[in-house]
Chains A and B, each alone.
Chain A
Amino acid sequence: MITIQKYVRAKSLEEAYQLNQSKRNRIVGGMLWMRLGRGSVATAIDLCDLGLDTIEETEEQFSIGAMVSLRQLELHEGLNAYTGGAVKNAVKDIVGVQFRNMATVGGSIWGRFGFSDVLTVFLAMDAYVELYKGGVIPLEQFAARKKDTDILVRLIVKKTPGAFVYTALRNQRTDFPVIACAVSQLGGEYRAVIGARPAKAMVIRDEQGLLAQGITPDSAEAFAGFVAERTPTDSNVRASAAYRSHLIRVLTARATTELGGI
């Protein structure tokens, strides 16, 4: 477990940013994953007083503060109406209600964890992150970056017309996923996002136009095969690489047919 020498509730993002420039200091989100690490933190920087715990919905977008809990995502009617329940499906089996009341969107996205349901589902959307110094950048671009000392302020999800399906397979209900899979249709573009490979989620677009003529059982199978071939997998205690590759094909086909209303 980590040890913490000093705790500071930042009074501004600038104060948090300045404190975060020291490698010995760290921003705490839900602190659920961080706490299991080792080492010593000189100053734990808490953003809890900065008003980043709300989801603001406009006609164009959802603006999700970094300190919004996964439980808030799960219960937000507007977000789940727009995503067809995909966001709720992505977080509902993350440990338990108590855990989801603590785990934050900012911590989940910032961590770019290999097991993340949260990163997987939002990569299927027209999503962006707002960084304190780095401005607004696409989530996909952020996910590919290495961690630095900037601060993730909020996640922005544009209400681009689209449809979303999320599914995952777990060995046990509240465990990490063995494979996480989100499939979407956004402005005519189809994409699949595969998480828990067990590496960081990756986006596979329908570059070959396999779904261009519409979703049928055959085209869904073809797309699923394409996604499985393009997605590197690995083995860990939960599953082998071969099993994961098989699951990618199965879950992508299922999610795609559901997306097509079949």
Chain B
Amino acid sequence: MEIKLTLNDKAITGHIEADTVLLDFLRAQGCYSVKRGCDTSNCGLCTVLLDGKPILSCSMLAARADGHSVQTLEGLQEEAAEFVGFLADQGADQCGFCNPGFVMNTIALLRENPDPTDGEIRAFLAGNLCRCSGYDGQLRGIRSYLNSRKG
């Protein structure tokens, strides 16, 4: 079947099977930031924005994205660049596999709540699993970024 959607601000047309999930469609479009992790809707590695809202692309039919806007990290480099350096400075990444999903959900968090508390950060990012670092580095990185914005 054919779908038409906006991917990273570009209108595209794709041909998919009825059960193609969005993750596979996006990777076929060259969006390799979108990772397959648990494949059971639990880890957040496959996070993309659908009409601006974070969703799990491993569990969404690509057909359902027809007519909608999808953004991956490839299309949000500038917005991500504002804070990813702060994550790196805190040693938040080790293997880095969780990073794209983590960054995508952080973008969604900061759009919805530009000045979150530590509790709000933890709650919003609870669906992003990292098996290397234990989350404190990510929290410190985001806090450091938010503090920097306040001058």
Give me the interface of A with B, judged by CB distance under 8 Å. Answer: 2-7, 28, 30-32, 35-36, 44, 46, 48, 71, 92-93, 95-99, 101-102, 173-174
Interface majority SS (helix, strand, loop, mixed), chain A = mixed
> If A6-B18, A32-B41, A92-B123 touch, does A98 touch B63 (CB 8 Å cutoff)?
no
Q: Which of B18, B50, B54, B64 contacts A97 (CB 8 A)?
A: B54
A71 to B108, CA, bound (A): 13
Query: Residues of B contacting A174 with CB < 8 Å?
Result: 42, 126-127
With A28-B61, A35-B59: A98-B19 Cβ-Cβ less than 8 Å: no
Contact across chains for B126 and A173 when beta carbons are under 8 A apart = yes
**Residues of B78-136 whose CB lies within 8 A of A:** 105, 108-109, 123-128
A146 to B105, CA, bound (A): 38
List 8 additional contacts besides A2-B19, A99-B42, A99-B56; criterion CB under 8 Å.
A4-B18, A6-B18, A7-B63, A32-B59, A36-B40, A44-B18, A96-B126, A102-B60
Pick the contact of B54: A3, A4, A98 (CB < 8 A): A98
Contact digits for B44-80, partner A, Cβ 8 Å, 1 yes 0 no = 1001001001111001110110000000000000000
Q: Is the CB of B55 within 8 A of A101?
A: yes
Size of the B side of the interface (Cβ < 8 Å), in residues, is 27
Residue of B nearest to A102 (CB): B55
- Is residue B28 within 8 Å, beta carbon to beta carbon, of the partner chain? no
The 7 closest A-B pairs by CB, nearest first: A96-B127, A4-B19, A7-B18, A7-B63, A98-B54, A4-B18, A32-B41
A92 — nearest CB in chain B belongs to which residue? B123
Assuming the contacts A5-B18, A98-B55, A98-B105, asked whether A93 and B126 have C-beta atoms less than 8 A apart, the reply is yes
Within 8 A of A (CB), among B1-60: 1, 18-19, 40-42, 44, 47, 50, 53-56, 59-60
